[in-house]
């Protein structure tokens, strides 16, 4: 008997009708003799709605209470889906992350899964029940509710699939697979039948929200067969897989972008040993993650130091820089939260020169100014003004021949 973990995202459970349709889909698979664990997200818009409520009360809400609040979104869906299954005579039982139990660390709002106790789930599956689990949440050693960061239901699903040694983990969403870029930005994007874990990891970490990065990490580490499919239509979706020698190796497999970044610069910093740490240590001390970093040396023995952070951390990072500016003997702090990062990703890049220059030429031909650049073995990222996002993505998509045939 095969064991499947199916995850249904926000849009897929966005209304009572959708929840009923999901229940039918699950029942059909169960009737074929499969064991099913269904992981659910909050109904679409709910996590944002709850976040909005919290911010009306506290501009920077208490993280522990935020987790208590946000976990309710998934709890609503799990019970409704379980009811919908009962209604069509499919035995089912729903559990919160804490009930399962999904043990995490105590990093509220971005907790990591440590261990899953699958005894309860297995017992239910053996009794022929569908087990519905609230995604995105867990519990720490002290019994506090935790959440796994935005998009975290993907990770719940993959982690459960790993713990249960499931045959496959299906991520059902509102697109029918992983595309060469977000099809909402480039309608000519092409669906990929397969993508390597390595490339998917880069795409996810560079902003493609179709899968949470930790879900991809988990799947790669624990060898979970992972597939992204549409919950609305039939199809094979996209398989995330290990690199196979016969796999057709495109130069570039995809374009990712991230609208959530902001850029901060401190200019005229005396060019002395220890300057970078003096700037970045206070930022790290406040738990702010830094992404790209650039330091330029000027003729007058000063440097300009630029880095990017998540837009949520922008105001806090700006304040820290303003506070240390005069102590450092620096000139001024300039900031910009209207930038985006666009990245091209592909394992084929390893063996080919000239990809970066092609990318820069394409952007230049469109009159797009590049503000920052960063490269690694299988990706090149640039920071540009946010108004150029669509133009840049489409131009690159075309230049690297990613369009549908
Ligand atoms: P869910 O609520 O089901 O988790 P998400 O909104 O988190 O759905 O993820 C699906 C969305 O990811 C799609 O609607 C699409 O706009 C976006 N997306 C971004 N990059 C890609 C990509 N490369 N391929 C497919 N979808 C992508
Ligand atoms: N509901 C959470 C979010 O919107 C988790 C998820 O859907 O994966 O980010
Ligand atoms: Mg998601």
Ligand nearest to the CA of 210: 1
Q: What atom in ligand 1 is closest to the CA of residue 153?
A: 4
Using a pLDDT cut of 90, give the percent of the chain over it.
Answer: 88
Q: Check residue 344 and give its pLDDT.
A: 97
Q: What atom in ligand 1 is closest to the CA of residue 228?
A: 25
Of these ranges, 138-142, 267-271, 314-318, the one predicted with the greatest mean pLDDT is 138-142
3-class SS letters over the chain: CCEEEEEECCHHHCCHHHHHHHHHHHHHHHHCCCEEEEEECCCCCHHHHHHHHHHHHCCCCCHHHHHHHHHHHHHHHHHHHHHHHHHCCCCEEEECHHHHCEEECCCCCCCCEEEECCHHHHHHHHCCCEEEEECCEEECCCCCEEECCCCCHHHHHHHHHHHHCCCEEEEEECCCCCECCCCCCCCCCCECCEEEHHHHHHHHHCCCCCCCHHHHHHHHHCCCCEEEEECCCCCCCEEEECCCCCCCCCCCCEEEEECCEEEEEEEEEECCCCHHHHHHHHHHHCCCCEEEEEEEECCCCEEEEEEEEEHHHHHHHHHHHHHHHHHHCCCEEEEECCEEEEEEECHHHHHCCCHHHHHHHHHHHCCCCCCEEEEECCEEEEEEEHHHHHHHHHHHHHHCCCCCC
Q: Does residue 248 register a pLDDT over 80?
A: no
Q: Does residue 351 register a pLDDT over 80?
A: no
- C-alpha 324 – ligand 1 centre gap (Å): 39
- Exposed/middle/buried for residue 1 (C-beta within 10 Å: 0-12, 13-18, 19+): exposed
Is the domain spanning 255-399 CATH 3.40.50.300? The answer is: no
- Give the pLDDT band of residue 66 (cuts 50, 70, 90): very high
- Residue from 173, 235, 256, 394 whose mutation best tests the ligand 1 pocket (most atoms within 8 A of CB): 173
Give CA separation, 181 vs 54, 367, 377, in Å. Answer: 33, 22, 20
- C-alpha 141 – ligand 2 centre gap (Å): 23
| Average of per-residue pLDDT values in the chain | 94
Rounded mean pLDDT, 301-328: 93
Q: Check residue 347 and give its pLDDT.
A: 85
- At the top level of CATH, which class does the domain 3-174 belong to? alpha beta
Q: Does residue 160 register a pLDDT over 60?
A: yes
Query: 362-395, pLDDT tens digit by residue?
Result: 999 999 999 999 999 899 999 999 999 999 999 9
The pTM of the full predicted model, rounded to 2 decimals, is 0.93
Question: Can you tell me the distance from the alpha carbon of 382 to that of 372, in angstroms, rounded to the nearest whole number?
Answer: 5
- C-alpha 360 – ligand 2 centre gap (Å): 35
Q: Check residue 249 and give its pLDDT.
A: 64
- Residue from 172, 191, 210 whose mutation best tests the ligand 1 pocket (most atoms within 8 A of CB): 210
With a Cβ cut-off of 6 Å, ligand 2 is lined by 9-10, 41-42, 47, 73, 135-136, 150-154
Q: Check residue 312 and give its pLDDT.
A: 87
- Are the C-beta atoms of residues 144 and 133 closer than 8 Å to each other? no
- C-alpha 364 – ligand 3 centre gap (Å): 33
Lowest mean pLDDT among 154-163, 297-306, 337-346: 297-306
- C-alpha 177 – ligand 1 centre gap (Å): 9
Q: Does residue 247 register a pLDDT over 60?
A: no
Q: Check residue 250 and give its pLDDT.
A: 72
- C-alpha 389 – ligand 2 centre gap (Å): 24
Domain positions in the chain = 3-174, 255-399
Q: What atom in ligand 2 is closest to the CA of residue 148?
A: 5
Q: Does residue 25 register a pLDDT over 70?
A: yes
Q: What atom in ligand 2 is closest to the CA of residue 10?
A: 7
Contacts with 235 (C-beta within 8 Å, 6 or more apart), sequence order: 176, 177, 229
Q: Could you tell me whether strands 254-258 and 339-345 are parallel, antiparallel, or unpaired per DSSP bridges?
A: antiparallel
Instruction: Provide the 10 A C-beta neighbour count for residue 84.
Output: 23
Question: Can you tell me the distance from the alpha carbon of 342 to that of 385, in angstroms, rounded to the nearest whole number?
Answer: 10
Q: Check residue 280 and give its pLDDT.
A: 95
- C-alpha 190 – ligand 1 centre gap (Å): 14
Q: Nearest Cα to 16, choosing from 82, 84, 74? A: 84
With a Cβ cut-off of 6 Å, ligand 1 is lined by 9-12, 41, 151, 173-175, 178-179, 181-182, 184, 208-210, 254
- Give the pLDDT band of residue 245 (cuts 50, 70, 90): low
Q: Does residue 27 register a pLDDT over 90?
A: yes
Query: 268-284, pLDDT tens digit by residue?
Result: 999 888 889 999 999 99
- Residue from 151, 155, 171 whose mutation best tests the ligand 2 pocket (most atoms within 8 A of CB): 151
Q: Does residue 298 register a pLDDT over 60?
A: yes
Contacts with 232 (C-beta within 8 Å, 6 or more apart), sequence order: 12, 174, 176
Q: Does residue 246 register a pLDDT over 60?
A: no
Ligand nearest to the CA of 135: 2
- C-alpha 13 – ligand 2 centre gap (Å): 12
Q: Check residue 405 and give its pLDDT.
A: 66
């Amino acid at each position: 008997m095969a064991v499947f973990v199916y995850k249904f995202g926000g849009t897929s459970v966005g209304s009572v009708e959708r929840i009923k349709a999901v229940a039918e889909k699950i029942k059909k698979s169960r009737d074929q003799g499969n064991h099913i664990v269904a992981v659910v997200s909050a109904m679409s818009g709910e996590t944002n709605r709850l976040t909005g409520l919290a911010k009306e009360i506290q501009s920077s809400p208490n993280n522990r209470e935020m987790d208590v609040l946000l976990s309710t979104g998934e709890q609503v869906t799990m019970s409704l889906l379980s009811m919908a299954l009962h209604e069509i005579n499919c035995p089912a039982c729903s559990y919160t992350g804490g009930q399962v139990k999904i043990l995490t660390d105590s990093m509220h709002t971005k907790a990591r899964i440590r261990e899953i106790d699958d005894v309860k789930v297995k017992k239910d599956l053996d009794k022929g029940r569908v087990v519905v689990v609230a995604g995105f949440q867990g519990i720490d050693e002290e019994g506090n509710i935790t959440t796994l960061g935005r998009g975290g239901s993907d990770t719940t699903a993959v982690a459960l699939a790993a713990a249960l040694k499931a045959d496959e983990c299906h991520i059902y969403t509102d697109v029918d697979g992983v595309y060469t870029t977000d099809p909402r930005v480039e309608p000519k994007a092409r669906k990929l039948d397969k993508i390597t874990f390595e490339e998917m990891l880069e795409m996810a970490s560079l902003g493609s929200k179709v899968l949470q990065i930790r879900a991809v990490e988990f799947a790669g580490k624990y060898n979970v067969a992972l597939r992204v499919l549409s919950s609305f239509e039939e199809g094979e979706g996209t398989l995330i897989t290990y690199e196979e020698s016969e796999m057709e190796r495109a130069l570039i497999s995809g374009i990712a972008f991230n609208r959530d970044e902001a850029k901060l610069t401190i200019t005229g910093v005396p060019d002395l040993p220890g300057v970078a740490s003096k700037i970045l240590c206070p930022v790290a001390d406040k738990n702010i993650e830094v992404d790209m970093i650039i330091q330029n040396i000027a003729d007058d023995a000063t440097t300009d130091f630029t880095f990017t952070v998540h837009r949520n951390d922008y105001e806090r990072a700006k304040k820290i820089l303003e506070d240390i500016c005069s102590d450092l003997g620096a000139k001024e702090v300039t900031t910009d939260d209207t930038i985006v990062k666009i990245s091209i990703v592909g394992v084929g890049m390893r063996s080919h020169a000239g990809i970066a220059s092609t990318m820069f030429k394409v952007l230049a031909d469109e009159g797009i100014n590049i503000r920052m650049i960063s490269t690694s073995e299988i990706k090149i990222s640039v920071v540009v003004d946010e108004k150029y996002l669509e133009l840049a993505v489409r131009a690159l998509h075309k230049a690297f021949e990613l369009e549908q045939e």
